[in-house]
Amino acid sequence: MSENVERLTEAFRSEKRLIDELIEIIRRQRGALACEDLETVGSIAYAIQRVLLTLSEARRRRRAINRIIRGTDDLALFDLEQVLGSSMTEAIRSARDDLHGAAMLLSDEVRINRSVLRETLA
């Protein structure tokens, strides 16, 4: 179980890094929109697509690890402690919490960009 917990911890860290990268790209997109730099907006759209594809692969990897640990793809982040029991380490707890925080920040950044895009296109 310990090896799988380590693999899941690394999967969380990998997803968080990708989300952090996506957040930075989205912020650059917002800056380009503010400057009406349509060329940069277009190139950023490609960068977003690339990161989203990589993030999709990372999530597929995490689901495969979930299958090994629990026998199902679906494992909610905050069900981990119950599923892992005494195998729940501080490292995986921290990686899970960091991933959740990054996902929440990404959600906020996407919401802001949608608003900016609506205003720009209006």
Q: For residue 6, with 0-12 CB atoms within 10 Å meaning exposed, 13-18 middle and 19 or more buried, which class applies?
A: middle
Residue 120 lies in a domain: no
Residue 122 lies in a domain: no
Domain boundaries, position 69: 2-115
Percent of the chain surpassing pLDDT 70 = 100
Chain-centroid distance, C-alpha 46? 17
Q: How confident is the model at residue 78 (pLDDT cuts 50, 70, 90)?
A: confident
Residue 121 lies in a domain: no
Residue 35 lies in a domain: yes
- The predicted model gives 99-121 an average pLDDT of 92
Instruction: Give the model confidence (pLDDT) of 32-70 as tens digits.
Output: 988 889 899 889 999 999 999 999 999 999 999 999 988
Structural domain total, the chain: 1
Q: How confident is the model at residue 13 (pLDDT cuts 50, 70, 90)?
A: very high
DSSP 122: -
Helices 38-70, 2-34: inter-axial angle, 10-degree rounding: 160
CATH of residue 62's domain is 1.20.58
The predicted pLDDT at position 99 comes to 97
- The predicted model gives 2-21 an average pLDDT of 95
